[in-house]
Amino acid sequence: MLGLTLQCLSSPAALAANGDDSRPNIVLILADDLGYSDIGAFGGEIDTPNLDALAGAGLKMTNFHVSPACSPTRAMLMSGANNHKAGLGNMAELVTPPEKGKPGYEGYLSHNVTPFPELLRAAGYDTYMVGKWHLGLTEELSPAARGFEKSYAMLQGGAGFFDQTGNAPTPDGKGKTRARYRENRDPVDLPTRPDFYTTDFFTDKMIEYIGSGRTDGHPFFSYVAYTAPHFPLQAPDRLIDKYKDRYLAGYEVIRKTRFERMKEMGLIPSDMELEDGHPAWPRWEQLTPQQKENEARRMAVYAGMVESMDQNIGKLVSHLKQIGEFENTILVFLSDNGAEANDIHDLVPRDWVAANFNNSLDNLGRPGSYIGYGPGWGQVSATPFRLYKGFPSEGGTRSPTIIFHSELARRGKTDTQLASVLDLAPTFLQVAGIDPAAREYADRKIHQLEGTSLWSYLSGGTDRVHPQDQVMGLELFGRAYMRKGDWKLVWINRPWGSGDWELYNLAEDPHESRNLSKENPQKFSELMESWKQYQEKNGVIFDGTIAALIQYTNSQRYYDDLVQ
C-alpha cells in the first residue's frame, strides 16, 4: 500500500511534468437497472464469472446506496452532489407541474456543479466515456462538454440493443424514433451489421480509446456506462437459449434459492426471514401455463443480457492485463438503481408497442421485440429487499457494488458499512492527487462535495468510511427516505406504502416490514427533523401528492398483456 499512498501525495502537475506519472488508472463500470441479487457474487444464478472473480479478489460492498432511478444517480455520480443540487431533482421525462422550472429540476447535469472528469482531465488523466449519458441532449450538455476527452454516448435513457431504435414513439405517436448518439461533439449513427449488439460495441470502443492514449504516458479514467439490462430486454439468441428452461420454476423458487445462497455467502444475516413479495402481484401458481412460459422467456432474456455484460467486462479486464495496466487500475462496478420491475407501458404507450414490435413468444428478446420483465421477476432481482426501481426502499437503492485493486487492504472481504454513490467522486479525486475538499483546481471552481472519499478506508488507513450515526437522505418521484445509522424513515405512496412516514430499524429488519414509528416516537421525531433540514437545504418540492402525479407505477395490465 505504500506506493499508492505516497503517489497520492505528489502534485499531479509535477507527476505529469517529469514523465513519471504512476497514479492508478480508474475504470468505472455502471450497469443499468441491475438488481441487487442478479450477479453470482451477490447470490444470483446468472453466470457472471468475471464479476465474481473481481469480487472475490476485491471488496464487495453490500450496503452501498444509489438513487432509485438512473439519471439522478448519474448526476450524483458525476458531481458528488445531491441530485437536486445537480439538476436532477426529477428525471427530465417525468418532471411534474409543481416542479417545472424550479431550481434543481432542470433535467440535466447542472452547470452549478463541476463534473469530476473535468478535474481529472485537468490533473493529467486521459478521460474516456462510452454508453448511456442521460444527463443532457445538446452538445453543450454532452460528455465532451463535461470533461471527457473522448466519448461515444447514447444521450437518452434507453434504446434498442441490436440497432438504433429509440425508446419513444414519434410525435404523432405512431412510428419509431431513432436514439441519439454522439461521438465526442458530433451526432453519429450506430454501425449496421448483422452481429451488432450495443454491449459488445461499447466495450470495443472503450478498448479503442484506451489504446489511442497509450503513447502519452498519462493514467486514464474510463467510464463504461452499459445500457444492459435496461429495457427493451434484448439478448443474443445463444444466451437466450442457454437460459430458456432455467426460470420455469417461477418467481418464488428462484427467489428462495437466491435468498438461501445469500445466507450461505454471508451477504445477509443467517436468521433473516424471507418476506413475501408485494400482495398486489400474482404468485407463480396463479399464472396460466401460457403466462408462465412467457414470463420464463422474459427472465431468460434478462439473464442473457447480464451474462453478455459480464463477458464484456471480462474482455475489458483481459485487455488491461494484456497491456500491463490491470495491476495499476482501480475498478469500480455498481448499478444505477434497483431492478426495473415497473410496467414499461406506464412509460411508453402500449398501442405503440403493439403496432411497431413483434412480441410473440418466439421473438421475445430478439430484434424487433420490445419488453420488460415486470414486478414478479423484479422482486426476484431485489432479493432480499423490499420493492425495486422508483422506490426509496432498500430494493430500489441498494447496489451490488465491487471495488478492485491489486493492493487494496481489504481484498477478498465482504463489507457491510454504509456508503453511497456520493462517495465516488471524492474517492477518484483523491486517487488523482486532488484534495476533495478544495474549492478550486486548475482555474476550475469546485462545489462542495457531499460524500466522503473511500480511499483512506480502502487503503487501510481508517476503519470506517462514515461515522456510525451517519445521516443520509434522498427524495425522488415524491417518495423519500432519511437515514441515521441503522434507523430509516421512509415515505412511499399507496398501494406500495402507507402514504405516510414509516420508521424501520434496518439492523433488525432489512426488509422494512415492521413499522416502528409508534413504538419509537423519539427516533421518529429526530429523523423527521433531519428530513426537514434536508428538504430545506436541497430545495426539495415535497407535499405528499407529487407521487400521484407521476405515472411511474406498476400496472396489473402487465399480466393481462402476457398472452396477447
Mean pLDDT calculated for residue range 515-544: 96
Mean pLDDT calculated for residue range 396-417: 95
Determine which of 374-388, 477-491, 544-558 has the lowest per-residue pLDDT on average: 544-558
The whole-angstrom separation of Cα 275 and Cα 314 is 35
Q: Per residue in 1-16, pLDDT tens?
A: 434 443 444 556 555 5
Does the pLDDT of residue 155 top 50, yes or no?
A: yes
Q: Which three cell numbers stand for residue 65?
A: 446506496
User: What band does 257 get if pLDDT is binned at 50, 70 and 90?
Assistant: very high
User: What band does 495 get if pLDDT is binned at 50, 70 and 90?
Assistant: confident
The whole-angstrom separation of Cα 117 and Cα 223 is 9
Q: Per residue in 76-96, pLDDT tens?
A: 999 999 999 999 999 998 899
* Confidence at residue 288, expressed as pLDDT on a 0 to 100 scale: 95
Mean pLDDT calculated for residue range 518-544: 96
Q: Which residues pair with 150 in a beta bridge?
A: 128
Element (H, E) at 261: helix 251-264
Residues catalogued as catalytic: 70, 134
Residue 445 makes CB contacts below 8 A (sequence gap 6+) with: 114, 439
Helices (H), 127-174: none
Residue pair 538/82 in contact (Cβ under 8 Å)? The answer is yes
What backbone torsions phi and psi does residue 303 show, to the nearest 5 degrees? -60, -40
Secondary structure (DSSP) of 412-466: TEEE---EEGGGHHHHHHHHTT--TT-SEETTEE-PPP-S--SHHHHTTS-S-SS
Residue 306 class from Cβ within 10 Å (0-12 exposed, 13-18 middle, 19+ buried)? buried
Q: Per residue in 215-239, pLDDT tens?
A: 788 999 999 999 999 999 999 999 9
Q: Per residue in 278-319, pLDDT tens?
A: 777 889 999 999 999 999 999 999 999 999 999 999 999 999
pTM: 0.95
- Domain positions in the chain are 2-458+472-561
Residue pair 99/88 in contact (Cβ under 8 Å)? The answer is no
Does the pLDDT of residue 553 top 90, yes or no?
A: no
Q: Per residue in 201-213, pLDDT tens?
A: 999 999 999 998 7
Q: Is CATH 3.40.50.300 what the domain over 2-458+472-561 is classified as, yes or no?
A: no
* Confidence at residue 15, expressed as pLDDT on a 0 to 100 scale: 54
What is the CB neighbour count within 10 angstroms for residue 514?
Answer: 13
Of 58, 65, 59, 57, which Cα lies nearest the Cα of 36?
65
* Confidence at residue 1, expressed as pLDDT on a 0 to 100 scale: 43
The whole-angstrom separation of Cα 493 and Cα 513 is 15
Does the pLDDT of residue 426 top 60, yes or no?
A: yes
Determine which of 138-147, 339-348, 442-451, 496-505 has the lowest per-residue pLDDT on average: 339-348
Residue pair 380/310 in contact (Cβ under 8 Å)? The answer is no
Q: Per residue in 158-178, pLDDT tens?
A: 999 999 999 888 888 889 999
Mean pLDDT of the chain: 92
